[in-house]
């Protein structure tokens, strides 16, 4: 990952917006988190601008600058010409006064270095007879060529950027000076770090504004004209061309902004379709005034208004500069190797099949994953940049297939009603319960056609579900255990029916057997009681007769004794 751009993992919500906007797809996803691929990233800052969760963070160098200010050496600011668009109505004199209050020794305009760069471009076109010359002012475009179009390196002007030219000039005039560039670009932090000894630190406009606010320093609204300041046009699309003479014999001059447009132009150059031209390329639409750290970009940005601010501030003549020699203006660009393996056609097809793409017609190329085509996505999966789960149609089909499998195979009847009490979905088990041949026979119809709507109307009215209510469906001669629940988000009613007809019949059978058993038991008891009573009656008669007989016997014995 580039040191100047970091990721707050706790903020990353797996929305894939950054990969959708990344023009070179230099972001990989792992563990539902975005990771910037350092050797592919061109630091255009698009991911920083579009991230809805503020998960991308630019490394703040304010403390580093504070340390420079405490070193005792003079610290001089090279201020990007786009400042006039960021701080509306504030001129260079006001900026100088405010920054000196922070402790800076002086503030100069980077446009001075831009004039030197423009002069060197004109010398190259005039003296070196090159076929194609691509301006090297934009570090993101330089990285784009170094990392993704290495065959175009011979066409990239081997000239330092205005930031570097100006900071070199400052250090030539103030040998002990430290230089700090302030502008709207995250890529400049990387450029300063990579080419050591030229720019000591880089601040963004946001960092500067925060620092000024913390120190309660206000910027005065005042602008003083300066006719010798044509290079202030540099931060606008075509701004470099506007400062050039454009008189090199046989050359065509053109300006291209936006990474996507620049990529298309580079592809045309690769194909041999372009010759004898000078091309000003800017990664940001609108050039630097549309930079990722332009504070107004996050508020109410207007390309036209920003251009007008620059145009009204710029003069009609060049800054008066002591032009450095060509060796001082020289810059070397090396090829930055890619490390991503390239899959074979069979490997791509295998991954496509894992994504549920078995034939070309299934390759929707919807771009929801961030890649232009399903094949590009398959390559990214092979390279470890993407995951299969990033394919939203695949996830949708998988989820629907999974839920359909559950709904179709559950033994319980299930159907869904909309807020108009119309049947929206019904499974086979429900069709069987209600003796329906096909779902088509009832879909879109009112539920009253198949069931008493009372319970559904009650649930819709109260918003309270009914759970495991045992109901007899007389029209179908079925007993069901019925649950009706409302889904408030979709305004749907979901009904689940468990067929308990067999349970009811079994319960009736058991109750019948119980009744018969009780009746038999009652009859047995009754009969037994009758027998007991008869026995008791017989015993009673026998006892009486015996008593009489014994009494007579007693009387007889008594009489004999007398």
Convert the pLDDT of each residue in 477-527 to its tens digit.
999 999 999 988 888 999 999 999 988 888 888 888 878 887 887 787 788
**Pair (53, 104) in one structural domain:** no
Mean pLDDT across the chain, nearest whole number?
Answer: 89
Bigger pLDDT: 431 vs 508: 431
Length of the chain, in residues: 562
558 in a domain, yes or no?
no
323/325 Cα distance (integer angstroms) = 7
At residue 46, φ and ψ (nearest 5 deg) are -60, -40
**Pair (199, 267) in one structural domain:** yes
Domain boundary residue, one of 473, 499, 525? 499
Ramachandran region, residue 108 (left: φ > 0; alpha: ψ -120 to 50; beta: rest):
beta
**Pair (225, 160) in one structural domain:** yes
Enter the pTM of the model. Answer: 0.72
- Residue 85 — pLDDT band, cuts 50, 70, 90? very high
**Pair (103, 53) in one structural domain:** no
Q: Which residue segment(s) compose the domain that 287 sits in?
A: 60-313
Q: What is the CATH number of the domain that holds 25?
A: 3.30.70.20
Please tell me the total count of domains within the chain.
Answer: 4
549 in a domain, yes or no?
no
**How does pLDDT run across 198-236, given as a tens digit for each residue?**
999 999 999 999 999 999 999 999 999 899 999 999 999
Integer angstrom CA distances of residue 358 from 343, 353, 354 = 18, 5, 9
Range in 189-193, 406-410, 417-421, 484-488 the model is least confident about:
406-410
**Pair (77, 39) in one structural domain:** no
**Pair (462, 422) in one structural domain:** yes
Domain boundary residue, one of 59, 74, 109? 59
Which DSSP string corresponds to 154-193? GGB--B--HHHHHHHHHHHHSTT-EEEEEES-SHHHHHHH
330 in a domain, yes or no?
no
Query: Is the pLDDT reported for residue 185 higher than 50?
Result: yes
Query: Is the pLDDT reported for residue 346 higher than 80?
Result: yes
At residue 319, φ and ψ (nearest 5 deg) are -60, 145
Residues linked to residue 469 through DSSP beta bridges, in sequence order? 482
**Pair (145, 259) in one structural domain:** yes
483 in a domain, yes or no?
yes
Residue 362 is given by DSSP the state G
442 in a domain, yes or no?
yes
394 in a domain, yes or no?
yes
Highest mean pLDDT among 44-53, 74-83, 501-510: 74-83
pLDDT value of residue 339: 76
CB 512 within 8 A of CB 520: no
Query: Is the pLDDT reported for residue 390 higher than 50?
Result: yes
Q: What is the CATH number of the domain that holds 425?
A: 3.30.450.20
Q: 3-state DSSP call for residue 484?
A: strand
Query: Is the pLDDT reported for residue 126 higher than 80?
Result: yes
**Pair (390, 445) in one structural domain:** no
Report the DSSP pairing between strands 75-79 and 178-183.
parallel
Residue 426 is given by DSSP the state E
Q: What is the CATH number of the domain that holds 160?
A: 3.40.50
Bigger pLDDT: 429 vs 297: 429
**Pair (32, 74) in one structural domain:** no
Q: What is the CATH number of the domain that holds 375?
A: 1.10.15
**Pair (126, 177) in one structural domain:** yes
Q: 3-state DSSP call for residue 326?
A: coil
pLDDT value of residue 1: 41
Query: Is the pLDDT reported for residue 366 higher than 90?
Result: no
Domain boundary residue, one of 499, 533, 554? 499
What is the helix (H) or strand (E) element at residue 146, kind and residue range? Answer: helix 139-148
pLDDT value of residue 298: 44
424/416 Cα distance (integer angstroms) = 5
**Pair (216, 345) in one structural domain:** no
What is the helix (H) or strand (E) element at residue 18, kind and residue range? Answer: helix 17-21
164/78 Cα distance (integer angstroms) = 9
pLDDT above 70 covers a percentage of the chain that reads 93
254 in a domain, yes or no?
yes
468 in a domain, yes or no?
yes
Query: Is the pLDDT reported for residue 100 higher than 60?
Result: yes
Task: Kindly state the average pLDDT of the residues 396-411.
Answer: 72
Which class for 505: exposed (0-12), middle (13-18), buried (19 or more C-beta within 10 A)? exposed
**Pair (233, 364) in one structural domain:** no
């Amino acid at each position: 990952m580039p040191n100047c751009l970091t990721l707050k993992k706790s903020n990353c919500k797996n929305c894939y917006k950054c990969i959708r906007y990344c023009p070179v797809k230099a972001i990989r996803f792992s563990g539902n988190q975005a990771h910037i691929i350092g050797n592919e990233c061109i630091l255009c800052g698009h991911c920083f601008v579009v991230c809805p969760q503020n998960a991308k963070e630019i490394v703040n160098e304010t403390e580093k600058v504070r340390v420079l200010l405490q070193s005792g050496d003079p610290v001089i600011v090279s201020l990007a010409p786009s400042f006039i668009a960021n701080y509306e109505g504030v001129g260079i004199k006001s900026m100088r006064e405010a920054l000196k209050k922070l402790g800076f020794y002086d503030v100069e305009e980077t446009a001075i270095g831009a004039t030197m760069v423009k002069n060197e471009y004109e010398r190259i076109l005039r003296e070196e007879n090159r076929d194609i010359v691509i301006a090297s002012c934009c570090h993101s475009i330089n990285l784009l060529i170094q990392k993704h179009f290495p065959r175009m390196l011979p066409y990239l002007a081997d000239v330092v950027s205005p930031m570097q030219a100006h900071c070199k000039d400052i250090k030539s005039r103030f040998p002990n000076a430290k230089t700090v560039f302030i502008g709207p670009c995250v890529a400049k932090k990387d450029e300063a770090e990579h080419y050591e000894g030229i720019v000591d630190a880089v601040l963004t406009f946001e960092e500067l504004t925060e620092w000024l606010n913390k120190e309660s320093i206000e910027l005065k609204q005042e602008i003083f004209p300066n006719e010798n300041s044509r290079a202030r046009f540099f931060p606008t699309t075509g701004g470099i061309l506007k400062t050039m003479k454009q008189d090199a014999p046989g050359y065509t001059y053109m300006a291209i902004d936006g990474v996507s447009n620049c990529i298309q132009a580079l592809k045309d150059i690769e194909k041999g379709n372009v010759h004898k031209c000078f091309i000003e390329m800017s990664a940001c639409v609108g050039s630097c005034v549309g930079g990722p750290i332009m504070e107004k970009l996050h508020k109410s940005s207007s390309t036209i208004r920003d251009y007008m601010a620059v145009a009204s501030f710029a003069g009609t003549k060049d800054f008066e500069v002591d032009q450095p020699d060509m060796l001082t203006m020289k810059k070397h660009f090396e090829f930055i190797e890619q490390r991503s393996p390239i899959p074979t056609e069979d490997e791509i097809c295998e991954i496509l099949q894992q994504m549920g793409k078995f034939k070309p017609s299934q390759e929707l190329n919807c771009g929801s994953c961030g890649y232009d085509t399903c094949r590009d996505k398959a390559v990214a999966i092979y390279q470890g940049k993407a995951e299969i789960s990033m394919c939203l149609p695949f996830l949708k089909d998988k989820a629907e297939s999974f839920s359909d499998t559950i709904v179709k195979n559950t033994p319980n009847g299930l159907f869904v009603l909309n807020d108009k009490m119309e049947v929206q979905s019904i499974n086979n088990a429900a069709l069987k319960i209600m003796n329906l041949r096909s779902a088509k026979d009832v879909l879109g119809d009112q539920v009253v056609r198949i069931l008493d709507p009372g319970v559904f109307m009650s649930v819709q009215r109260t918003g309270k579900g009914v759970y495991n209510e045992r109901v007899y469906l007389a029209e179908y001669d079925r007993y069901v255990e019925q649950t009706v629940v409302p889904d408030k988000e979709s305004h749907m009613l979901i009904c689940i029916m468990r067929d308990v007809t067999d349970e009811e019949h079994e319960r009736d059978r058991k109750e019948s057997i119980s009744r018969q058993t009780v009746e038999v038991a009652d009859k047995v008891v009754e009969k037994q009681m009758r027998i007991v009573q008869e026995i008791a009656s017989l015993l009673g008669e026998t006892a009486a007769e015996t008593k009489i007989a014994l009494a007579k016997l007693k009387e007889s014995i008594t009489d004999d004794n007398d």
